[in-house]
Amino acid sequence: MGEDIPQTLLGLLRIYSPSGAERAAVNWLVQHMQTLGMQAHVDAAGNAVGTIGTGARHLLLLGHIDTVPGEIAVRVENDLLYGRGAVDAKGALAAFVDATAAGAVPGLTVTVIGAVGEEAASPGAVHLRTHFARPDFLLVGEPSGWDRITLGYKGSAWLDLRVRRALTHNAGEAASAPEQAAAAWQRLLQWAAEFNQGRERAFDQVTPLLRSMHSENDGLEETAQLQICLRLPEGMLTAVAEDVVRMLSGADVTVAACGDALPAYRAGKNSQLVRAALAAVRAAGGQPQFVLKTGTSDLNILGPVWNCPAAAYGPGDAALDHTPHEHLSLGEYARSVTVLRALIEGLATPSSCNQ
């Protein structure tokens, strides 16, 4: 591949790093940031951390270095660079590094972190929540498109539904374990439909997602299992998971929450960070727009705790997330680096001192 391809982006894509197997990519990124003039190290959680500048105000650019499984051959077709993570979200992380490595700016310290495990249980972000000092500004790297700023993400709750029962003859009237699991799923869909009445925006709705299903029998007993994700709207208490557990549980059905539920998060439009982002997009010739995402990101974990000006930004079409056709426009990547560099310089100006 030609040298005109951004080396940070290309280097990250060439190292396959699904959740739990990020070490090689982390080590490469730390060394690469060092060669670009940044101070860099691996933290206790395995995150790649790079810093430049010594200013009193601190901007954290938080990307994630892990991807979903499914390796995609790295290749270029015209303006498009293919590879697992090109969109979600090595593209944003690489853009963070390239924009930051252009040089320190007065009054501002910039830290870039490639966090581990965002596609799993986010151990990288969870570690930062208690072991990283609250920054003045937080920008999370997720695909929004080069001219759009993401302000919010829905919350999430994961549930494990299991049905276990003694086998009966298939001509009998008793519902089988798979049938009981399917009936529970239908009850959940009906509950969600009733909750969503009058709520037109997807961001305001609760969305049940069936992520996996499995059934088997050993000749004496049969089981069925569903893994369910609930996407939660803003304002819905995460305790809703407990209500769903009670609603779906029965004589043969047990439902358990998997980990802690995350509430939805929405950042304010009028922070100094968002204003700098809007100005940077306009300066690059774009007409900026705001986005509210129906998924969940590390912004849900850190935004409410740090309560600092925050948003998410990154190149790429989110519709390509997790797909076998994941690719990123090199032209869009270049524009996003330009926007990020202008944002960094905008936060360093005297008018940015007021948050």
Is 3.30.70.360 the CATH number for 157-257?
Answer: yes
Provide the pLDDT for residue 191: 93
Provide the pLDDT for residue 353: 44
What is the number of other CB atoms lying within 10 angstroms of the CB of residue 212?
9
Provide the pLDDT for residue 354: 47
Indicate the DSSP class of residue 176: P
CA dihedral of 229, 318, 126, 113, whole degrees rounded to 10? 170
Is 3.40.50.2300 the CATH number for 7-153+264-353?
Answer: no
Nearest to 203 by CA among 165, 176, 231, 175: 231
Three-state SS annotation for 259-315:
CCCECCEECCCCCHHHHHHHHHHHHCCCCCEEEEECCCCHHHHHHHHHCCCEEEECC
Provide the pLDDT for residue 164: 95
Q: Which residues of the chain have pLDDT under 70?
A: 1-3, 169-173, 238-239, 350-355
Question: Residue 241 region, left (φ>0) first, then alpha (ψ -120 to 50), else beta?
Answer: alpha
Provide the pLDDT for residue 4: 82
- Residue 119 is a catalytic residue: no
Residue in 22, 88, 118, 142 annotated catalytic? 118
Residue in 66, 88, 142, 345 annotated catalytic? 66
Partners of residue 293 on adjacent β-strands: 153
Provide the pLDDT for residue 246: 87
**E-assigned strand segments in the chain:** 39-42, 48-52, 57-64, 75-77, 80-82, 108-115, 137-141, 148-153, 155-166, 207-217, 221-232, 253-257, 265-266, 289-293, 310-313, 327-329
Q: Tell me the domain boundaries of the chain.
A: 7-153+264-353, 157-257
121-150 residue pLDDT tens: 999 999 999 999 999 999 999 999 999 999
Provide the pLDDT for residue 351: 53
The pTM (predicted TM-score) of the whole model is: 0.94
Provide the pLDDT for residue 355: 47
**Phi/psi of residue 182, nearest 5 degrees:** -65, -40
- Residue 66 is a catalytic residue: yes
